Amino acid sequence: MIRLRVALAQINPTVGDLDGNVAKIGAAYDQAEAAGCDIVAFPELAITGYPPEDLVLKPGFVADNLAALDRVAKRTGRCVAVVGYVAIDRDLYNAAAVCVGGAVVGTYRKRLLPNYAVFDEARYFKPGDASDPYELYVIGGVKVGISICEDVWSATGPLAEQAAGGAELNININGSPYDAGKVSVRERMLATRAADASCALVYVNQVCGQDELVFDGGSMVFDAEGTLIARAALFVEELLITDVEIEPVYRKRLLDPRGHATDEPMRLVQVSDAPVPHKKPIVGPIVPLPDLDAELYEAIVLGTGDYVRKNGFTDVVIGLSGGIDSTLVACIAVDALGADHVHGVSMPSRYSSDHSKSDAEDLAKQLGIDYRTISIEPAFAAFLEMTSKSFEGKPADLTVIDLTAENLQSRIRGTTLMALSNKFGWMVLTTGNKSEMAVGYFTLYGDSVGGYAVIKDVLKTRVYDLCRYYNQRAGREIISENVISKPPSAELRPDQRDDQSLPPYEVLDPILRLYVEEDRTAAEIIQLGHDEATVRRVARLVDLNEYKRRQCPPGVRVSPKAFGKDRRLPITNGYRG
């Protein structure tokens, strides 16, 4: 039996920040080397950050990425570093460099390029193939194969092929984005791959927010039986170090009909003869997984904080209406950035209820954030007066309200928030949820105005769940029960409630899950037992409002299919299935 000490560098890179990423890689490498590690693995495209998108179409960027890799390789000593970068050889490749002793001693090119959901890798990269044969790296006497992200999802892919060629350990580097429920699915898949291949498996993932995507980390190590032996935490940077015992597995491969030898030649690259001897083995931790509410909440916090900071902002401003959506966004912002960097603004009109104003003020006190009140009534009255002649024959006096005046109030609030953003350099966080985004229950250039849409991928019923989770986690009622229990309302006309314009959210959200996230047609949803008139109406609203969603800011993706990079339907669309 051989014991290798491996480090999983679960870092938070920034796309395009080559110098910053090299510094993070270097710091983690030094820690791994000091701990006597034989191998340290870094995430997919760690040099460039993932996904670099059209940056890789810039020849200068690709050249700078190669120079950055050279800097990383030159600082390596005995510990082998596996580092993701963009390789070039007539075409571009999503690649992993094997670095040791101050040099790059091998390169692996990703073979399975995802081109679905949020992935567009076939747009940028050519896959590795049999013309670029596998190499196994003999590290401490162990035959080590390399793979990249999607490669491990295929049961007959590179991991199985390398194991059939003699690999005893596989290093799988990743940029695997989060969505609710994926963590447990991913773990089951990896355990199965390791067991089926009789090959120990090291899975390292980046942990960061990148525009709409969140990468959750959760790096893991499995032995050749598929048993989880170490797991890093979700949503935090970490260097996970553990010793992996490599048992002889040739007998199982000989007896298992799935363990046939591969026809593809595999060159052995000798790196080191023996692992570093250690008197006391390191047993890596298996960090417990959070429940689904905690997981979802932390994903949104990470995505929001990284988006704000990586785009050069320190502070955010939020329109606090006293409603549940803006309440949750304020709580997330405080956890992402700190209370000193969050500014809440109440912008009452003649239709704002007393409890909404008091609920907003109470929340600000509970969170310890800056809070101010700016009444929009003077501007609202002025706009109504200004447009009164043009609107003759339509409701326009100061006692009558219509949709035009409702949207006018929302747009005045959006203008006010953007004025504060311009004056103080604060990013505006919008507060609309996925249910509202789906059916267009928001005002274009009004409450949709801002830099980042924090809960745009969270259905309304889940907003309530997250608010209850927040109080439970705090051990006290920070979000008042009045905010959670009162009927939701935009308060743009007297006694307005959301359910006057929309089906109840308990009815709406299941239909949206089926129509938006599962791509079911209206006819299929009706067949599942949902009311036909309601389904037809909801589907029509979703389709009609595609043009509005295209003009909204990006936001954290936490579902299997979000509006934005994920769900790409035409604005001009005559299909009524």
pLDDT for res 494: 65
Q: Which pLDDT score is estimated for 254?
A: 52
| Virtual torsion, Cα 164, 136, 29, 128, nearest 10 deg | -80
Say if residue 398's pLDDT is above 70. Answer: no
Average pLDDT over residues 456-470: 96
Average pLDDT rounded to a whole number, residues 408-413: 93
| Single-letter amino acid code for the residue at 160 | A
pLDDT digits (tens, 9 = 90+) for 229-241: 999 999 999 999 9
Contact (Cβ atoms closer than 8 angstroms) between residue 484 and residue 322: no
What's the pLDDT at 406? Answer: 87
Sign of the Cα pseudo-torsion (475, 481, 483, 489, in order):
positive
The Cα 43–Cα 235 span in angstroms is: 14
Please name which of 265, 317, 347, 351 lies closest in space to residue 454, comparing C-alpha atoms: 317
Instruction: Name the DSSP class of 101.
Output: T
Q: What span, in angstroms and rounded, lies between the C-alpha atoms of 285 and 404?
A: 58
Two tokens, residue 290: 């959070």
For residue 168, give the amino acid letter: E
44 is catalytic: yes
Question: Is residue 337 within 8 Å of 315, Cβ to Cβ?
Answer: yes
- From the candidates 24, 37, 79, 110, which is the catalytic residue? 110
* Mean pLDDT, rounded, for 184-188: 95
Task: Give the residue-averaged pLDDT of 546-571.
Answer: 91
Q: What is the pLDDT of residue 297?
A: 97
Q: pLDDT tens for residues 483-499?
A: 888 777 665 666 666 67
Q: Where do the domains of the chain lie, and which CATH numbers do they carry?
A: 2-270 (3.60.110.10), 292-549 (3.40.50.620)
Please state, as a whole number, how many other Cβ atoms lie within 10 Å of the Cβ of residue 474. Answer: 12
**271-287 pLDDT tens trace:** 987 777 877 888 999 99
Mean pLDDT of the chain: 91
Pick the catalytic residue from 37, 79, 99, 149: 149
Tens digit of each residue's pLDDT (9 = 90 or more) over 92-148: 999 999 999 999 999 999 999 999 888 999 999 999 988 888 999 999 999 999 999
Compute the distance between CA of residue 302 and CA of residue 253 in angstroms, rounded to an integer: 42
> What is the Cα–Cα distance from 524 to 127, expressed in whole angstroms?
37
Residue 255's pLDDT band (boundaries 50, 70, 90)? Answer: very low
Q: What are phi and psi of 243, to 5 degrees?
A: -90, 135
pTM of the model: 0.92
DSSP string, 298-345: HHHHHHHHHHHHHTT---EEEE--SSHHHHHHHHHHHHHH-GGGEEEE
Q: What kind and span of H or E run contains 402?
A: none
2 pLDDT more than 70: yes
For 217-222, what is the mean pLDDT?
A: 97
Residue 206 φ then ψ, to 5°:
-75, 160
Residue linked to tokens 């409702």: 406
Strand partners, 60: none
Burial label for 69, CB within 10 Å (0-12, 13-18, 19+), is: buried
Structure token pair of residue 431:
């507060």
Confidence category of residue 257, pLDDT binned at 50, 70, 90 = very low
Indicate the length of the chain as a whole number. Answer: 577
In 3D space, the residue among 153, 330, 298, 289 whose CA is nearest the CA of residue 215 turns out to be 298
Residue 52: is the preceding peptide bond cis (ω within 30°)?
no
400 pLDDT exceeds 70? no
User: 256: helix, coil or strand?
Assistant: coil
Do the beta carbons of residue 446 and residue 413 sit within 8 Å? yes
Distance CA 559, CA 325 (A): 18
Lowest-confidence segment of 40-44, 77-81, 386-390 by average pLDDT: 386-390
Assign 404 to helix, strand or coil: helix
Q: What is the mean pLDDT of residues 416-442?
A: 96
Q: What is the mean pLDDT of residues 394-411?
A: 72
Instruction: Spot the catalytic one: 24, 44, 168, 298.
Output: 44
Q: Which residues pair with 205 in a beta bridge?
A: 174
**Is the pLDDT assigned to residue 427 strictly greater than 70?**
yes
Q: Amino acid letter at 306?
A: D
Is 397 strand, coil or helix? coil
Say which DSSP state 55 is in.
G
